[in-house]
Amino acid sequence: MRVEIWTDIACPWCYVGKARFEKALGAFPHRDEVEVVHRSFELDPHRAKGDIEPVLGMLTKKYGMSEAQAQAGENNLGAQAAAEGLEYRTEGRDHGSTFDMHRLLHLAKEQGRQDELINVLYRANFAEERSVFDGDERLVELAAAAGLDADEARAVLADPARYADEVRADEREAAELGANGVPFFVLDRRYGVSGAQPAEVFAQALEQAWSSRAPLTTIAAATDGDGEACGPDGCAVPQR
């Protein structure tokens, strides 16, 4: 079974939702047969690289919140994160473009290190004092901490075309699947879970997707039901 999770590194509910999902997955009897893939979704896709501002300032400016409202929201998110055992700095975080992080996540995916990198990036963005938007070398260090080769990460960051199509393709797919926010969880392309639902909801979704796995619909040539195949009893040899 496959679970795809659309996320943004700048999304606090994605950080919290991942922990809730993993709690459910850890208790799922068939967890060893579940493959998890992280997919890209930018909350702020039009923000330019280098256009960085404090999260609280962005919240008051973009959404017209008072500073007190914005801070209360951050405090609330911090409490929700703490309830999942996650560190969360409620003050002093930055907001910026996450496009390069998504490109690195696609590099990491190719090397089987996507989960390692997303954990490192989440921690850097939500828990560490140094801003995650502190230039390419900051991201190179984080990639290396996740087990990627530093030079390879540096080369990807230096060329904005690398993995850009993969990021866009993920975002297009999210829209096609009906996601207008993240985190967005898709199980075997049949079930969807939107948002950082409680762990019990993820447990139910895993159970439901598992138990409702349907038999495949077979497609074959009209003249040749099973095609030319090899099995334990040898290979079908065409007599033509």
Question: Of residues 146-165, which lie at the interface with a copy of itself (CB under 8 A)?
Answer: 165
The CA distance from 175 to 173, in Å, is 5
The tokens describing 183, both together, are 């985190």
**Is 172 strand, coil or helix?**
helix
**Is 8 strand, coil or helix?**
coil
Q: Is 48 in the site for a copy of itself (CB under 8 A)?
A: no
Cβ-based nearer residue to a copy of itself, 72 or 150: 72
Cβ atoms of 40 and 4 within 8 Å: the answer is no
Cβ-based nearer residue to a copy of itself, 17 or 96: 17
Q: Is 177 in the site for a copy of itself (CB under 8 A)?
A: yes
Cβ atoms of 23 and 205 within 8 Å: the answer is no
Least distance to a copy of itself from the beta carbon of 135, Å?
Answer: 25
Q: Which of 65, 69, 52, 70 is nearest to 10 (CA)?
A: 52
Cβ atoms of 80 and 72 within 8 Å: the answer is no
Least distance to a copy of itself from the beta carbon of 220, Å?
Answer: 6
> Could you tell me which residues come within 8 angstroms of residue 131 by beta carbon, excluding any fewer than 6 positions away?
52, 93, 94, 138
Cβ-based nearer residue to a copy of itself, 123 or 168: 168
Cβ-based nearer residue to a copy of itself, 50 or 64: 64
Q: Is 77 in the site for a copy of itself (CB under 8 A)?
A: yes
Of these, 59, 139, 156, 157, which contacts a copy of itself (CB under 8 A)? Answer: 59
Size of the site for a copy of itself (CB under 8 A): 76
- CA dihedral 46→52→55→58, nearest 10 degrees, is -60
Running DSSP on this structure, what letter comes out for residue 48?
Answer: P
Residues 205-234 that bind a copy of itself (CB under 8 A): 205, 208, 213-221, 224, 226-234
Of these, 134, 136, 194, 210, which contacts a copy of itself (CB under 8 A)? Answer: 194
Of these, 3, 17, 93, 143, which contacts a copy of itself (CB under 8 A)? Answer: 17
Q: Is 198 in the site for a copy of itself (CB under 8 A)?
A: yes
Of these, 5, 16, 36, 139, which contacts a copy of itself (CB under 8 A)? Answer: 16
Q: Is 68 in the site for a copy of itself (CB under 8 A)?
A: no
The tokens describing 67, both together, are 């500073």
